[in-house]
Amino acid sequence: MPSLRWLPLPLAVLAVSAYATSYLDAEQARQVLFPGVTFEQLPFGLNPAQAAAIAAQAGLPVRVRQLRLWRGAGGELVLVDEVIGKHDRITYALGLNPDGTVKGIEIMDYRESYGHEVRGAAWRGQFIGKAVGAQLRVDEDIRNIGGATLSCRHVTEGVRRLLATWDIALRPLSKKTAGPASDALPHA
């Protein structure tokens, strides 16, 4: 029964494993997207009219009207959002340049057994430079990952919805602030 020789392998891996389950937390994601930029968190809730306009523009429902939004001194924005992969949530951060183009996306949490491949840098890199008006559809301007189709599609839809959110509601916030972000709001 030679196969049993491999039995200690999983145990050994378990023994040296790390404890974290998140790829990145919100602060780390901001720093990966915009290194060295100081961010402030902005409280921001979409009103029903905005949510309806975003849904119409993106062709997707807006299920969460309270945004998790950070702004840098130069008008950079970072949004943390969640979509359903196949059955479970994917948490990701979208970085937007002051002109509304995508700086990048970072997968912060991926909880399902399958489809982790959306974390791949090359796949995420397809979103860089995308802006309002881009198709943002899998098998159109975003290539699929075989075996991770639903995760690809739902993350892509999430980015499309957030770009519509920027267009409808956040565009004014992308302007450069007068001073450091920490001076803009009395936020501890």
Residues 26-45 touching other proteins, rule: CB under 8 A, are 26-27, 41-45
State in angstroms the smallest separation of the CB of 46 from other proteins: 8
State in angstroms the smallest separation of the CB of 11 from other proteins: 9
State in angstroms the smallest separation of the CB of 100 from other proteins: 13
Using the rule CB under 8 A, is 128 a contact of other proteins? no
Binding mask 97-116 for other proteins (x = CB under 8 A): -----------xxxxxxx-x
State in angstroms the smallest separation of the CB of 187 from other proteins: 6
Q: How remote is the C-alpha of 63 from its chain's centroid? A: 16
**Contact stretch for other proteins (CB under 8 A) within 23-31, 94-102, 158-166:** 23-31
Of the residues 32, 68, 75, 131, which one makes contact with other proteins according to CB under 8 A? 68
Of the residues 56, 87, 128, 180, which one makes contact with other proteins according to CB under 8 A? 87
**Could you tell me how many residues of this chain bind other proteins (CB under 8 A)?**
80
